Amino acid sequence: MAITKNVIAGICTAFLFACGNTPQTGEKKDFIEENIEFARAQIGKELDVIEASGKCLNPVTLKPDSSVYYCGYADWRSGFFPGSVWYLYELTGDTTLLPLAVKYTEAIEEAKNLTWHHDIGFIINCSFGNGLRLAGTPAYKEVIIQAARSLATRFRPVAGIIQSWNVDRGWQSERGWECPVIIDNMMNLELLFEATRLSGDSTYHKIAVSHADRTLAEHFRPDGSCYHVIDYSLKDGSVRHRQTAQGYADESIWSRGQAWAIYGYTICYRETHDRKYLDQALKTFHMMRSLKQMPADLIPYWDMDAPNIPNEPRDASSAACIASALYEISTLDVPDAASYKAYADSLLVSLSSPAYRAPLGTNGHFLLMHSVGSIPHNSEIDVPLNYADYYYLEALKRKRDIEREQ
Ligand code: GLY
């Protein structure tokens, strides 16, 4: 990706907006409001396309022919578009978005019964979780609890973890794994904590804590970076392999994995107040921020050990997820809390600049450009991804909430 002088000028301008919380002069709009307006217009165009189709389409990314890829309810990414519409409804107060958020959310309800993969947390928490928070629909509670029941079927007591992937089909069956757990799975725990709150059944909370503890023990290297995949023995719970699936190498720093770890352990701290979880989130973040190869605009390469840095694709989805987590961290009792908000602000400035934020009406109506799905699978390289947009909107909302209280 070529970063031109114009793009750098755009980043600088956006940075000036972001730094000042005082009203902007003249016709200049506040940084947050301008980005919300853009998101409303851009996603509004996607909503027009979907509504005109007469179907309940669920946009994920762009295909190689530049058409939009839409997914079904079982895809791990099916909750992000409904979740983005909820965030847009919250950010704009536009009540015309409410019935759409409800419709796209309820279209994926069947995901609550999925037991063949672990991503039920991503799917149901981003959609029904936000729906419950914003609309309070009582029926959504039972959906969340049922989803937690489904996720709990994947708990393997011998290892104390939730199995991420099945190994009886697809490319996962070719790796010789018995019980693979990926760091991404930390993101599914929020659903379990919520299900215990809603149901009063502590089983889900206990499973989440067990998973977080074993992952803390096995997934991390001494420098705070994490492996992508840990394969456990189903006979005795021991570790069989430490590997990658979506990173450059087993020992490399796959950026989105680090983002899932930072965000996931921040959730665990919020839910348990156990300081070791926050310490891990901070350690992983400080490892990332101190990497010499981190680019000046702070948007990570897809893997921070990829061989052709600086000529490697960036991953805006990692940056958006880390930004959102850092806003939460900045509200916690941590030394130098303001520095985490400052770093998150810098990430949002970069993401909102012309280098990453798409021009209105382009990019398949996704907000952000330049994310990476999986380079080892030659899939979704330097494309928009709906989860980059979701965490970008969440980060904008968190920034707005924090600044309103200041
Ligand atoms: N959970 C899959 C990914 O992060 O790409």
301 lines ligand 1 (CB under 6 A): no
Q: Is there a domain that residue 27 lies in?
A: yes
Q: Is there a domain that residue 84 lies in?
A: no
Q: Is there a domain that residue 370 lies in?
A: yes
pLDDT by position in tens, the chain (length 406):
333 333 333 443 344 334 333 333 445 679 999 999 999 999 999 999 999 999 999 999 999 999 999 999 999 999 999 999 999 999 999 999 999 999 999 999 999 999 999 999 999 999 999 999 999 999 999 999 999 999 999 999 999 999 999 999 899 999 999 999 999 999 999 999 999 999 999 999 999 999 999 999 999 999 999 999 999 999 999 999 999 999 999 999 999 999 999 999 999 999 999 999 999 999 999 999 999 999 999 999 999 999 999 999 999 999 999 999 999 999 999 999 999 999 999 999 999 999 999 999 999 999 999 999 999 999 999 999 999 999 999 999 999 999 999 8
76 lines ligand 1 (CB under 6 A): yes
The residues facing 182 across adjacent strands are: 229
* Ligand 1: centre distance to CA 98 (Å): 28
Catalytic residues: 119, 184
Handedness of CA 248, 288, 78, 382 (dihedral sign): negative
The residue nearest atom 2 of ligand 1, judged by CA position, is: 184
Q: Is there a domain that residue 288 lies in?
A: no
Q: Is there a domain that residue 96 lies in?
A: no
Question: What's the number of domains the chain is made of?
Answer: 1
283 lines ligand 1 (CB under 6 A): no
Domain that holds residue 22: 1-55+294-406
Q: What angle do CA 248, 250, 251 make, to 5 degrees?
A: 95
CB 370 within 8 A of CB 1: yes
* Ligand 1: centre distance to CA 5 (Å): 33
| The pLDDT of residue 29 | 74
Q: Is there a domain that residue 9 lies in?
A: yes
Nearest residue to 374 via CA among 57, 79, 74, 61: 61
Residue 372: phi and psi, rounded to 5, are -130, 130
Q: Is there a domain that residue 178 lies in?
A: no
| The pLDDT of residue 300 | 99
The residue nearest atom 5 of ligand 1, judged by CA position, is: 373
CA distance 132 to 174: 40
Three-state SS sequence of the chain: CCCCHHHHHHHHHHHHHHHCCCCCCCCCCCHHHHHHHHHHHHHHHHHHHHHHHCCCCCEEEECCCCCEEECCCCCCCCCHHHHHHHHHHHHHCCHHHHHHHHHHHHCCHHHHHCCCECCHHHHHHHHHHHHHHHHCCHHHHHHHHHHHHHHHCCEECCCCEECCECCCCCHHHHCCCCCEEEHHHHHHHHHHHHHHHHHCCCHHHHHHHHHHHHHHHHCECCCCCECCEEEECCCCCCEEEEECCCCCCCCCCEHHHHHHHHHHHHHHHHHHCCHHHHHHHHHHHHHHHCCCCCCCCCCCECECCCCCCCCCCECHHHHHHHHHHHHHHCCCCCCCHHHHHHHHHHHHHHHCCCCCECCCCCHHHCCECCEEEECCCCEEEEECEHHHHHHHHHHHHHHHHHHHHC
Q: Is there a domain that residue 1 lies in?
A: yes
246 lines ligand 1 (CB under 6 A): yes
* Ligand 1: centre distance to CA 373 (Å): 7
Q: C-alpha 143: how far from its chain's center? A: 21
* Ligand 1: centre distance to CA 118 (Å): 11
Find the CATH number of the domain harbouring 1: 1.50.10.10
User: What number does the ligand 1 atom closest to the CA of 119 have?
Assistant: 1
The residue whose CB lies within 8 Å of the most ligand 1 atoms, and thus the one to mutate among 123, 172, 184, is 184
The residue nearest atom 1 of ligand 1, judged by CA position, is: 184
List Cα–Cα distances, 20 to 306, 345, 374, in angstroms: 36, 11, 37
* Ligand 1: centre distance to CA 28 (Å): 37
User: What number does the ligand 1 atom closest to the CA of 187 have?
Assistant: 1
256 lines ligand 1 (CB under 6 A): yes
Nearest residue to 257 via CA among 306, 208, 191, 304: 304
* Ligand 1: centre distance to CA 16 (Å): 33
**Pair of tokens at residue 253:** 């720093």
| The pLDDT of residue 27 | 55
184 lines ligand 1 (CB under 6 A): yes
